[in-house]
């Protein structure tokens, strides 16, 4: 095992370093975020930075890159207050990845990459029809991260579209059966295989493996 | 596929609902965070909310629950400015999960769960000896999330401990070979299996599967 210091890493070639640093924080769930602009023009983009903030209220965060690099999703969310997050399946991971290309604002990425938009009731933002686990959010707050011009976008879950046979008797969702896809670094995709559920841990009792 | 509204979900039993909402945001990398308090007492706790914020500067965030629920890690980081993040392996996932138990502040979780602390050079915070991918961070900012009393803790990577044979020729880190472990919901653990790398996506060219 080697010890690398940041002074050393800073001397690396830019794309090599970005790939390495992106990988260090580990696997993430690949998530397609669907929005519309004020004129109703749909937008779709892939994100790897979705994070659980709390279950009551049900809050989810994601990191949006600086405005100069990635303006469409965050601008649409700011102007409409609504967005959807859609899990990716291996069967359309290539199309999901293609949505990371820098399309002009007037391009509808659903059409450009070949995925179908799905509108539901009065929710303005489009879902991805092909996705099997997806939810809509209402914007709560956009927190600027001053140190590198990124943003933490916080939303509150309003609606969930899911095959309820995936939900187990304790509320656990079998995302392995759903084939929800992971990403790593800037361009790698994975599926997951479970090896244990341990139940709730307490200080003075040993763990009981429940599955 | 069913449509669940948040009004419906709010009526569910508390633990069932927490498990469900925790799962919705998907798989995350299981990360053990090592700290010491001002007196040098080690602390270890598992987190699922580590997020990539940027690669230049190399910034990583994680979500700390409200102070009343999880005070030790965040208090130690605030007082020392230093912490480590350590990937979990299946061989010690049970011990990692056990670190989520609410031990009193004076308990050293390394000893309580049976993992070994590893100190390096002048880095005050302990690494997990058994971990194969691990890094140290210097605190940049603690951002309070007012809406639910959680915190986004932002750190800058200072040191990385890794078997460099895991690093591929473009900087990609083979975390599947490293057996870096995922978690889902509140108590489930997974490994990952890769199915594609697609390279950099551009608007007007088709994807080339590179692996």
Task: Say if B114 falls within a structural domain.
Answer: yes
A30: containing domain = 26-190
**Would you state the pLDDT for residue A26?**
98
Q: Indicate whether A35 belongs to any domain.
A: yes
Structure tokens at A153: 């976008």
Torsion sign across C-alpha atoms A137, A143, A148, A149: positive
| Structure confidence at residue B206 (pLDDT) | 75
Residue A203 lies in a domain: no
**Tokens standing for residue A136:** 């809509």
List of E strands, chain B: 2-5, 28-29, 31-36, 42-47, 50-55, 58-64, 82-87, 117-120, 123-128, 133-145, 150-162, 182-184, 188-197
pLDDT confidence band for B199 (50 / 70 / 90): confident
DSSP of A27-81:
-EE-EEEEEE-TT--EEEEEES--EEEEETTEEEEEEEPPTTT--HHHHHHHHHS
The nearest alpha carbon in chain B to A137 belongs to: B6
Quick check: is B204 in a domain? no
Per-residue pLDDT for B173 more than 80?
A: yes
Per-residue pLDDT at B136 exceeds 80 = yes
Partner residue facing A19 (CB), from B171, B191, B207 = B171
Per-residue pLDDT of chain A (211 residues; tens, 9 = 90+): 999 999 999 999 999 999 999 999 999 999 999 999 999 999 999 999 999 999 999 999 999 999 999 999 999 999 999 999 999 999 999 999 999 999 999 999 999 999 999 999 899 999 999 999 999 999 999 999 999 999 999 999 999 999 999 999 999 999 999 999 999 999 999 999 999 999 889 997 777 777 7
Cα–Cα distance, A35 to A48 (Å, whole number):
16
SS3 of A180-206: CCEEECCCEEEEEEEEEECCCCCCCCC
Q: What is the pLDDT of residues A91-101, one digit of tens each?
A: 999 999 999 99
Position A48 in a domain: yes
- In this complex, the residue of B16, B48, B197 whose CB is nearest that of residue A187 is B197
ipTM: 0.96
pLDDT of residue A9: 97
Residue B95 covered by a domain:
yes
Mean pLDDT of B108-132: 97
Query: Which of A26, A10, A16 is closest to B169 using CA atoms?
Result: A16
Provide the number of structural domains found in chain B. Answer: 1
Within 33-62 of A, beta carbons closer than 8 Å to B belong to 48-61
In this structure, are residues A153 and A60 in contact, taking their beta carbons and an 8 Å threshold?
no
A105 touches chain B (CB under 8 A): no
Is residue A202 situated within a structural domain? no
Size of interface A-B (CB pairs under 8 A): 366
Q: Is residue B85 part of a domain?
A: yes
A164 touches chain B (CB under 8 A): yes
- pTM over cut 0.90: yes
d(CA A136, CA A120): 10
Q: Which CATH number characterizes residue B157's domain?
A: 2.30.110.10
């Amino acid at each position: 095992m080697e010890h690398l210091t940041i002074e050393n890493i800073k001397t690396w070639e830019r794309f090599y370093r970005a790939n390495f640093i992106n990988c260090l924080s580990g696997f993430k769930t690949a998530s397609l975020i669907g929005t519309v602009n004020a004129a109703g023009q749909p937008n779709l983009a892939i994100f790897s930075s979705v994070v659980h903030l709390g279950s009551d209220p049900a809050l989810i965060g994601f990191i949006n890159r600086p405005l100069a690099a990635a303006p469409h999703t965050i601008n649409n969310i700011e102007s409409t207050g609504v967005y959807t997050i859609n899990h990716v399946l291996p069967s359309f991971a290539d199309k999901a990845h293609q949505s990371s290309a820098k399309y002009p604002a007037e391009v509808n990425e659903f059409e450009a990459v070949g995925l179908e938009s799905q509108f539901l009731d009065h929710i303005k933002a489009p879902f991805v029809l092909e996705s099997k686990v997806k939810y809509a959010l209402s914007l709560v707050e956009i927190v600027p991260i001053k140190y590198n011009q990124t943003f933490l976008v916080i939303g509150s879950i309003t609606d969930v579209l899911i095959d309820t046979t995936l939900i187990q008797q304790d509320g656990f969702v079998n995302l392995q059966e759903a084939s929800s896809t992971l990403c790593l670094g800037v361009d790698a995709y994975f599926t997951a295989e479970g090896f244990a559920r341990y139940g709730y841990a307490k200080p003075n009792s040993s763990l009981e493996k429940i599955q």
